[in-house]
């Protein structure tokens, strides 16, 4: 299991979001708007919204901003965002899935295609790479925040499907539908959750040998993740240690 790669992807995103909080505020706002449209504005009954509020707070979004987003998303003049998934190949055939939220399909599609073309990849047809990925809930707890044996026992008892330990963190895997229940069970026992996401996990990973390919792949990921309309990027590139 390539836990190292998944954790590096999470850290890669976290490092960027810490440096560019305004963009993260925008992206979380869009996700909250869609969650409210689909499940209502009450975080008690809308678990997706509740998780996004926690995500916003963990990224230091002020409470006033969160309340403003919920109020606006609940109003009649809320933007109508559409969820779109793009699939394609990065340099040397790396499989890439891009999840986006947009109020202008043509604008977003053109921009995503431009990034793939610019950095040695190509945008493909729906289904061209998604068969290589499966959905999995991933919960991260930093090693400094928990005792390994106790956390493993509590996680498996809460319904986790797998548990892995690394030098810096513990990675708890769940079925996608179980992630909120497992997360809440662990938080009720006092654990600090560093990250919890339903991710698309590749069935196999590829490495890049060429310096040009590595540079282009990094540029592709950075530009996609910086783009306001993009909410998540998944790939099967195994980054070097």
The pair phi, psi for residue 119, each rounded to 5°, is -115, 40
CA dihedral 35, 135, 17, 106 (to 10 degrees): -70
The pLDDT tens digits for 75-122 are 777 778 889 999 999 999 999 999 999 999 999 999 999 999 999 999
Res 20: pLDDT: 63
195 and 210 housed in the same domain: no
- Residue 24 pLDDT exceeds 70: yes
Q: 60 in helix, strand or coil? A: coil
CA distance 92 to 210: 9
44 and 11 housed in the same domain: yes
The pLDDT tens digits for 177-195 are 899 899 999 999 999 998 8
Say how many residues make up the chain.
241
Please state, for a pLDDT cut of 90, what percent of the chain lies above it. Answer: 57
10 and 52 housed in the same domain: yes
CA distance 84 to 93: 22
Residue tagged 């061209």 (tokens) = 128
Res 2: pLDDT: 35
Residue 21 banded pLDDT, cuts 50, 70, 90: low
Domain region containing 30: 3-73
32 and 58 housed in the same domain: yes
Q: Compare 111 and 240 and report the one with higher pLDDT.
A: 111
Element (H, E) at 123: strand 122-123
- Give the domain-ending residue among 73, 93, 119: 73
54 and 33 housed in the same domain: yes
47 lies in some domain? yes
19 and 58 housed in the same domain: yes
CA distance 44 to 196: 18
Element (H, E) at 198: strand 195-202
221 lies in some domain? yes
The model carries a pTM of 0.82
165 and 121 housed in the same domain: no
191 and 224 housed in the same domain: no
- Give the domain-ending residue among 53, 73, 93: 73
111 lies in some domain? yes
Q: What angle do CA 33, 225, 75 make, to 5 degrees?
A: 10
Give percent helix, percent strand, percent coil of the chain, each to the nearest 5. 50, 20, 25
DSSP class of residue 135 equals E
CA distance 83 to 99: 7
Give me 169's structure tokens.
Answer: 């963190």
18 lies in some domain? yes
Res 74: pLDDT: 82
53 and 143 housed in the same domain: no
15 and 52 housed in the same domain: yes
What is the rounded average pLDDT for all residues in the chain?
87
Please state, for a pLDDT cut of 70, what percent of the chain lies above it. Answer: 90
DSSP class of residue 194 equals S
36 lies in some domain? yes
Number of domains in the chain: 3
Give the closest residue to 93 by CA, choosing from 233, 221, 213, 228: 213
Q: Compare 139 and 76 and report the one with higher pLDDT.
A: 139
Res 48: pLDDT: 85
- Give the domain-ending residue among 47, 73, 99: 73
Res 159: pLDDT: 97
16 lies in some domain? yes
241 lies in some domain? no
127 and 208 housed in the same domain: yes
240 lies in some domain? no
Whichever domain contains 210, its CATH number is 3.30.70.980
Q: Compare 22 and 210 and report the one with higher pLDDT.
A: 210
Q: 174 in helix, strand or coil? A: strand
Give me 5's structure tokens.
Answer: 């790669």
């Amino acid at each position: 299991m390539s836990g190292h790669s998944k954790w590096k992807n999470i850290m890669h995103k976290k490092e960027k979001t810490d440096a560019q909080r305004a963009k993260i505020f925008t992206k979380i706002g869009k996700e909250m708007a869609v969650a409210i449209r689909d499940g209502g504005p009450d975080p008690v009954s809308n678990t997706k919204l509740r998780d996004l509020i926690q995500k916003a707070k963990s990224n230091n979004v002020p409470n006033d901003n969160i309340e403003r987003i919920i109020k606006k998303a609940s109003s009649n003049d809320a933007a109508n965002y559409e969820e779109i998934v793009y699939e394609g190949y990065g340099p040397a055939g790396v499989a890439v899935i891009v999840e986006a939220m947009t109020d202008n399909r043509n604008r977003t599609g053109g921009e995503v295609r431009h990034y793939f073309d610019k950095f040695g990849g190509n945008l493909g047809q729906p289904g061209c790479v998604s068969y290589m990925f499966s959905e999995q809930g991933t919960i991260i707890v930093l090693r400094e925040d928990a005792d390994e044996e106790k956390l493993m026992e509590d996680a498996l008892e809460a319904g986790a499907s797998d548990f892995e330990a690394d030098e810096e963190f513990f990675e708890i895997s769940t079925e996608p539908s179980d992630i909120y229940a497992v997360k809440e069970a662990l938080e009720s026992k006092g654990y600090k959750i560093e990250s919890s996401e339903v991710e698309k996990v590749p069935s196999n990973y590829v490495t890049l040998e060429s310096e040009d390919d590595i540079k282009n792949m990094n540029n592709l990921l950075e530009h996609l993740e910086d783009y306001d309309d993009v909410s998540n990027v998944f790939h099967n590139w195994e980054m070097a240690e």
